[in-house]
């Protein structure tokens, strides 16, 4: 955890990890994200699974770490291993990368000429403006 977060806030976040999980809840109780919300309120019990996944097979160690005071975490091997694993992760926006790859391959299949590609994109944009809906009902009108 970040050093700028107070130990009291960290302890409150850990308490949230041990709350009973509500079945089927996939969101943060409709909370609005704003600067006024405490960080602890954004840590549901499901976050515990994420922490466990940082050290597969060592879930008990993670649980033991969470029972200790946040003041001692920096000296714990489990915490240091988790911190190392997080620092080695790459942030990836998979949906965007796939979209770019799809558009790139689509463009290269139709034509390799840049002028033709630009013309094709303009034609497609014009058709989208003229026919904003792609439903069958819209075509039947």
Average pLDDT over residues 47-68: 92
Given a contact cutoff of 8 angstroms between Cβ atoms, the answer to whether 19 and 29 are in contact is no
pLDDT at residue 69 tops 90: yes
What pLDDT, on a 0 to 100 scale, did the predictor assign at position 66?
Answer: 93
pLDDT at residue 95 tops 60: yes
pLDDT at residue 99 tops 60: yes
pLDDT digits (tens, 9 = 90+) for 18-47: 887 766 655 555 556 677 788 888 888 888
pLDDT digits (tens, 9 = 90+) for 129-141: 888 887 888 777 6
pLDDT at residue 70 tops 60: yes
Nearest Cα neighbor of 45 from 13, 12, 19, 25 is: 19
pLDDT at residue 79 tops 60: yes
Given a contact cutoff of 8 angstroms between Cβ atoms, the answer to whether 40 and 16 are in contact is yes
Query: How far is the C-alpha of 57 from the C-alpha of 78, rounded, in Å?
Result: 12
Give pTM, 2 decimals: 0.56
Mean pLDDT of the chain: 84
pLDDT at residue 111 tops 60: yes
Query: How far is the C-alpha of 74 from the C-alpha of 83, rounded, in Å?
Result: 9
Task: Select the more confidently predicted residue: 25 or 111.
Answer: 111
What pLDDT, on a 0 to 100 scale, did the predictor assign at position 100?
Answer: 86
């Amino acid at each position: 955890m970040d050093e700028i977060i107070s130990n009291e806030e960290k302890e409150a976040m850990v308490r949230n990890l041990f709350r009973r999980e509500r079945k089927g809840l996939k969101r943060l109780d409709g909370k609005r994200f704003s600067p006024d919300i405490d960080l602890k309120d954004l840590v549901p019990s499901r976050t515990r699974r994420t922490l466990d996944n940082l050290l597969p097979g060592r879930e008990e160690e993670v649980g033991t770490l969470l029972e200790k005071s946040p003041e001692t975490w920096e000296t714990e091997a489990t915490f240091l291993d988790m911190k190392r694993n997080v620092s080695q992760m790459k942030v990836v926006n998979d949906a965007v990368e796939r979209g770019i790859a799809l558009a790139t391959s689509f463009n290269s299949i139709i034509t390799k000429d840049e002028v033709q590609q630009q013309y094709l994109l303009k034609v497609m944009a014009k058709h989208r403006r003229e026919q904003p809906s792609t439903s069958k009902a819209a075509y039947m009108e």
